[in-house]
Copies of this chain bind each other. A is one copy, B any other.
Amino acid sequence: MNTDNNSSPCLGYLSCFNALSKQELDFINSKTRHLFFKKGETICKQGAYAPYIVFLTRGLVKVYLEVDRDKHISTHLTKSGDFISFSSVFNEDAYKISATALNDSDVCMIDREAVIKLLKENGDFSYRIVSRNCLIENRLLSIIGNLSHKQMAGKLATTIIYLNDFGYDNIFGSLTRKEIAEFANISIESTVKLLKDFENRGILSLEGKNITINNREILQKISDKG
């Protein structure tokens, strides 16, 4: 982990921050620290003191819950231009989630008090935050739907579609089988077996880490019906 203290206005061009005036942007930039994380490094640790709101400007990050010492479940990916942890910072002083860099990443740590001040003063800014948080809520609800009734094949199909559509170049190259399993919330072994099964049925192709979807419709059907 490396500290880089130039306060370039890296937030300026990004949607939520568009609502800010030049003055407000300067203010928030003065309260921001810019950090670099190498692939594999932990950016947020669930349970740790959380004085910052974390924002990703470059890279790829997985966000996950640590439900037990060795049991993780990934909820979503984050790419440049989105918050890694927003709500974690609000109601209590601890991160509710952990986040790890899947690729080298640049991150802004923004002082939470500064964000709170802006939220209270700038309605347009907070409106955008509310709207963005609602998207996350939808995502979490859909995860709950998946976990609660789908069986393995459906969970994995849903996961592959999510990852594939996330819009990051060669996403599967950045993920191990274990990480895919943690998104699908099934065991590594089941993940491997099912991937092979999908391949045998012509639904997708495996080539090392890479996964190519050949029959999107069937995959979607498996995802839908559980």
**Which residues of A approach B to under 8 Å, CB–CB?**
65, 67-68, 71, 73, 75, 86-88, 90-92, 96-97, 116, 119-127, 129-131, 133-138, 140-141, 143-145, 147-149, 185, 226
A119-B126, A121-B123, A133-B133 as given contacts; A145 in contact with B73, CB under 8 Å: yes
A sample of 19 inter-chain contacts (CB < 8 A) reads A67-B148, A73-B145, A73-B149, A87-B134, A87-B138, A88-B134, A91-B134, A119-B123, A120-B124, A126-B129, A130-B130, A130-B133, A133-B133, A137-B137, A137-B140, A140-B144, A143-B144, A144-B147, A147-B148
Complex CA–CA separation, A140 to B147 (angstroms):
12
* CB atoms of A226 and B138 under 8 A apart: no
Complex CA–CA separation, A136 to B86 (angstroms):
13
* CB atoms of B130 and A137 under 8 A apart: no
A67-B145, A134-B133 as given contacts; A122 in contact with B123, CB under 8 Å: yes
Known: A68-B226, A116-B127. 18 other contacts (CB 8 A): A65-B144, A65-B148, A67-B148, A73-B144, A73-B148, A87-B134, A87-B138, A88-B134, A91-B134, A91-B135, A96-B141, A120-B123, A121-B123, A123-B126, A130-B130, A133-B137, A137-B140, A147-B148
A91's partner among B86, B123, B131, B226 (CB-CB below 8 A) is: B131
Closest chain-B Cβ to A73's Cβ sits at a distance in Å of 4
Give every chain B residue within 8 A of A133 (Cβ-Cβ): 87, 130, 133-134, 137
Closest chain-B Cβ to A46's Cβ sits at a distance in Å of 10
* CB atoms of B67 and A141 under 8 A apart: no
Give every chain B residue within 8 A of A125 (Cβ-Cβ): 123
Give every chain B residue within 8 A of A134 (Cβ-Cβ): 86-88, 90-91, 133
Complex CA–CA separation, A12 to B82 (angstroms):
35
* CB atoms of B127 and A67 under 8 A apart: no
Give every chain B residue within 8 A of A226 (Cβ-Cβ): 68
Complex CA–CA separation, A92 to B137 (angstroms):
12
List the B residue with the shortest CB-CB distance to A143.
Answer: B144
* CB atoms of A140 and B138 under 8 A apart: no
Closest chain-B Cβ to A113's Cβ sits at a distance in Å of 13
Closest chain-B Cβ to A165's Cβ sits at a distance in Å of 17
